[in-house]
Chain A
């Protein structure tokens, strides 16, 4: 446990548990529209592209690209690991399918926009937080 930082955890609901608990099986899951195949995030009962209502969770590859990042230095919450990186990544399966996340195993010298990353999960209580680390070339 000691290598995990404090995290505010999400409230898990029937609507979002595929996302927050997919990591128990090593899966990053998003809702996907059965009609037009659009991935939808955050979860919604209606497809924002075709407005169909048949959406179901589906695992993606977990491969993603870093779109942007920031190294947070301010101790909003006390922790020994400042600064730590916050990033927005784009999931490989769909342009614009994005997550805010943290990137692990990087330094201020190595983390770059465009970096190819792979999902990993950090288990806290009843949720598995999707984080990313560099993907071997």
Chain B
């Protein structure tokens, strides 16, 4: 029996993004709704056409500004009439809610799902500097499978948790800081063509190597920049997409697998992460190959994560990521696999996963302007998540 890849019944039909800034000082729900309404209009739909709603992480506490709005707030603000909705963190990365939306559309639960993610970490953290996780006041005790076994060892941030993986990769494969720098330098070059990017001025290798360290081997420029902003995409059934404003971007395959342990420090291979399994699943669901991909928008919350996605998705062999990106030519806008064409999160701003999917769509629609990759790209991959989070989608113009 032939297996049907059901996500191929779905497509991205519209995208939207609010203003993006370091500290906008605006109501995070307003930013969220700016993105949502922009995406609905971009698809040529009205709010009354939306029958599904999905977000990551939804309403929650946690780090300041980590979420701008939950499902309930957006549902009610737009008076949506929903047949299906979901929000929450326990899923394969930030784009996991988009993967769920594809499944819901393919199953017939909804025809047009509004998917959104908004952050206001820039404003919420103010001038106090970037927060660690769970550093509570007196008497606070760490609990839960992640916090209990990290915080007592003074590992307060994913910066340190991911640095441990990067360092093991350096050890096993000879990867260097000079190589890793290319992820950050490439992002900064591309950000110059993105009017919404946070950091657009040139960055040199000397500046990178001279920057203060955060958690070795990561320096300041290996860490993404907190910002304020909302991003939204519309996932539609292909049958409902034909008469819309845009040419739909069909979902060719998704990757949501996590076959190793769901942990920052207990994953079987300490040189990679959950994204290994998500990427493997994506290629198990399509006849396309890595060489067919024209543009790659890969999570760079920390620079090393993008390198790990490059390896996992097969743009270079396992362990060769450092040598592959050396000098930066292979990942440049006119290179073998253009990477993070809007500046990623390192220079574009920490829109937390959704920025990568938004940019993949921009590129496939040929609307990148000064940052548009040449050659009329047909196939793009968007991937988000590091550590135990990882999810990815392959989009085509077909």
**Which candidate, B12-20, B135-143, B184-192, is the interface stretch facing chain A?**
B135-143
In this complex, which of A16, A84, A88, A99 has the most chain B Cβ atoms within 10 angstroms of its Cβ? A88
Give bound CA distance, A72 to B149, whole Å.
Answer: 17
Whether B94 sits at the interface, judged by CB under 8 Å, is no
Q: How far is the CB of A73 from chain B (nearest CB, A)?
A: 4
- Size class of the B contact interface (CB-based, 8 Å): 35 or more
| Closest residue of A by beta carbon distance from B268 | A96
Whether B265 sits at the interface, judged by CB under 8 Å, is yes
Interface set, chain B 145-192, CB cutoff 8 A to A:
145, 148-157, 159-160, 163-165, 167-168, 171
Interface set, chain B 113-145, CB cutoff 8 A to A:
130-132, 134-136, 140-143, 145
Given known A-B contacts A9-B152, A42-B149, A98-B266, A68 and B212 have beta carbons under 8 A apart: no
Whether A120 sits at the interface, judged by CB under 8 Å, is no
Q: How far is the CB of B170 from chain A (nearest CB, A)?
A: 9
Total contacting residues, chain A, CB less than 8 A: 35
Q: How far is the CB of A120 from chain B (nearest CB, A)?
A: 13
Contact flags B101-116 to A (C-beta < 8 A → 1, else 0):
0000000000000000
Contact flags A59-80 to B (C-beta < 8 A → 1, else 0):
0000000011111111011000
Number of residue pairs A-B, CB distance < 8 angstroms: 112
| Closest residue of B by beta carbon distance from A122 | B152
Chain A residues whose C-beta falls within 8 Å of the C-beta of B132 in the assembled complex: 76-77
Q: How far is the CB of A131 from chain B (nearest CB, A)?
A: 8
**Which candidate, B213-221, B230-238, B291-299, B378-386, is the interface stretch facing chain A?**
B213-221
Pick from A41, A69, A96: contact of B167, CB under 8 Å: A69
Chain B residues whose C-beta falls within 8 Å of the C-beta of A99 in the assembled complex: 149
Give bound CA distance, A87 to B149, whole Å.
Answer: 12
Q: How far is the CB of B304 from chain A (nearest CB, A)?
A: 11
Q: Is the CB–CB distance between A77 and B135 below 8 Å?
A: yes
Q: Is the CB–CB distance between A69 and B164 below 8 Å?
A: yes
Whether B59 sits at the interface, judged by CB under 8 Å, is no
* A residues whose Cβ falls under 8 Å from a Cβ of B: 5, 7-11, 16, 41-42, 67-74, 76-77, 83-84, 86-88, 96, 98-102, 108, 113, 127, 129, 131
**Given A72-B154, A76-B135, A98-B265, 13 other A-B residues pairs in contact with their CB atoms under 8 A:** A5-B154, A67-B168, A70-B217, A70-B218, A71-B216, A73-B215, A76-B157, A77-B132, A84-B154, A86-B160, A86-B164, A96-B268, A129-B152
